[in-house]
């Protein structure tokens, strides 16, 4: 009986939405993005990290949007500096939740690195990766949503990076 009650509660939570909520529909556009800044001071070695990541999307049907985005990343410390410009192409599947919209996204990233160092040789290269993102959009009003989630990035080919991170930002839906 407890299991049945739990299943019913979960089912109601994932199917009920706020009465003012309008689920994204075919033909709607989505503008989203975020900003990350990190400052660290470890043993008097100061470093800054800045990431700006805008994205636009178009809903091909009521649940699925195709997206294209950019990432502008700068990392500076006492020894070296690097910049990373990225374009990503992918899609998101959206589902209504009791507290907003949940989504699952897949993206392909194409990186362009520039690395400058006082100690090592300068590097200018490119690589590819794919990303899986699971997140939630929490409504601030009828068309502006707070976007937060978990992002896993896995390198492709010679790119051996694996990154797991948390993200946040805003998402705007336009009819």
How far is Cα 17 from Cα 94, in angstroms, rounded to an integer? 13
Read off φ and ψ for residue 9, nearest 5 degrees: -60, -45
Q: What is the pLDDT of residue 105?
A: 94
Question: Closest by alpha carbon to 46, among 5, 77, 7?
Answer: 77
pLDDT, tens only, 80-130: 787 888 899 999 999 988 878 899 999 998 887 776 765 556 666 778 889
Q: Which two tokens stand for residue 27?
A: 């033909």
How far is Cα 33 from Cα 70, in angstroms, rounded to an integer? 9
Assigned CATH topology for domain 2-174 = Porin (2.40.160)
Q: What is the pLDDT of residue 16?
A: 42
Contact assessment for residue 47 and residue 39, using Cβ atoms and an 8 Å cutoff: yes
Cβ-Cβ contacts under 8 Å for 154 (sequence gap 6 or more): 129, 130, 131, 161, 162
Number of neighbours of residue 124 by Cβ within 10 angstroms: 9
What average pLDDT is seen over the chain? 80
Poorest-pLDDT segment among 5-19, 38-52, 55-69, 153-167:
5-19
Gap between the terminal Cα atoms of the chain: 44
Confidence band, pLDDT 50/70/90 cuts, at residue 8: low
For residues 160-169, average pLDDT? 82
Helix, coil or strand: residue 11: helix
Q: What is the DSSP string of 67-135?
A: EEEEEEEEEEESSEEEEEEEEEEEEEEEEEETTEEEEEEEEEEEEEEEEEESSS--EEEEEEEEEEEEE
Number of neighbours of residue 60 by Cβ within 10 angstroms: 12
pLDDT exceeds 70 at position 159: yes
- Give residue limits of the domains in the chain: 2-174
Q: What is the DSSP letter of 5?
A: H
Cβ-Cβ contacts under 8 Å for 160 (sequence gap 6 or more): none
């Amino acid at each position: 009986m407890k299991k049945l009650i739990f299943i019913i509660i979960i089912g109601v939570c994932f199917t009920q939405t706020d009465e003012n909520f309008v689920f994204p529909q075919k033909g709607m556009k989505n503008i989203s993005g975020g900003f990350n800044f990190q400052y660290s001071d470890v043993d008097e070695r100061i470093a800054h990290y800045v990431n700006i990541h805008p994205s636009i999307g178009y809903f091909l049907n009521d649940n699925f949007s195709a997206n294209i985005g950019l990432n502008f990343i700068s990392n500076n410390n006492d020894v070296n500096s690097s910049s990373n410009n990225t374009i990503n192409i992918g899609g998101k599947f959206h589902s209504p939740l009791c507290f907003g919209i949940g989504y699952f996204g897949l993206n392909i990233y194409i990186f362009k690195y520039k690395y400058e160092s006082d100690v090592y040789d300068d590097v200018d290269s490119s690589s590819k990766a794919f990303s899986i993102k699971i997140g939630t959009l929490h409504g601030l009003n009828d068309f502006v949503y707070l976007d937060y989630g978990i992002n896993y990035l896995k390198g492709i080919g010679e790119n051996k990076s694996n990154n797991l991170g948390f993200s946040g930002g805003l998402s705007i839906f336009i009819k």
